[in-house]
Amino acid sequence: MDLNGMSFDQSQEEILLRKYGFNETPFNESADVRFLYLSPAHRNVFYGITKTIDLRWGLAVSLGGYGMGKSSLARLTYSKYLENTKVKPIYLDAQNLTTEFNTLYTVCSAFGLRPGRGVGGQWKIFNDFIVESAKTDVNLVILMDDAQKMTSDSLEFIHKSFNFDVTRKLVQIILFGQPELLIRLKRKPELYDRVQAWLDINPLDLDETIKLINYRCVVAGRNEPIFTSKAFFSIFNTTKGYPRKIVKLSKYVLMQIMSTGKAVADENDVETAIQKLKSAYEVNIDELLL
């Protein structure tokens, strides 16, 4: 990508990043838990997730718009329990889970279980696994990201997974999805009624937007702010507090000052980066930052 001088090869980028005090890029868009800034809203959601798992409530749903940090929270949850011998977590991208059997087979495979013969055979293997895990007091945790893409048939897996209800749930399932997941669940009242915790992730305010940007810069090695106060406000005003948009626009603004050699970015640099993006892609800024 060449945005009027805002393009560097890897060696150039590494040199420029070091010049600005960074050991690595602060605005990588991948779901790296090191860079996850937990706003009050994110902390509340994470608390609700861990409470659902630890108290074995069964089913929790985390809802948030595109780019709100759901995948990062899912991976943070997975990493939290990965070394716990009494918890066995798996993380799944639910966008390809289209049928009950496909979902069941994928879950079994993630837990390391052997393939079964047909739906009935696979359910027996999974049910036996649930029972054996309960005997050793191992808490099974299934984290499903992009759950809004699951079909009614694939959601049936979740309903059937709770057929072993006793004094506590033997399987904990956390769904992470966009708001349309709520509509899908309401169409399945037998599953909707099983949700024990609804956990909403809301956009950041200006103060939290500034903290997110500065936090990522510190993780990447720079302790001093890279943007002026007006630049922070311009980024917040453009992104409306959506974390992924904040990170993406901040990356382009950093590229802008790296291309000119300025020490700190101001509101003019934010506007210049936005205009270059618009000119390069000929779409509005909201589409560019998705």
Helix 229-239 vs helix 243-260: crossing angle, to nearest 10: 140
Look at residue 155 in the predicted model and tell me its pLDDT: 96
Look at residue 1 in the predicted model and tell me its pLDDT: 43
The separation between CA 288 and the C-alpha centre of its own chain, rounded to angstroms, equals 19
On average, the pLDDT of the chain sits at 91
Q: What does pTM read for this prediction?
A: 0.86
Helix 267-281 vs helix 243-260: crossing angle, to nearest 10: 100
Q: What residue type is assigned to position 37 of the chain?
A: Y
How does residue 290 score in pLDDT terms, banded at 50, 70 and 90?
low
The CATH class that applies to domain 40-200 reads: alpha beta
234: its two tokens? 């311009």
| Spans of all domains in the chain | 10-30+204-288, 40-200
Residue 88 backbone phi and psi in degrees, to 5: -120, 100
Is residue 254 pLDDT above 90, yes or no? Answer: yes
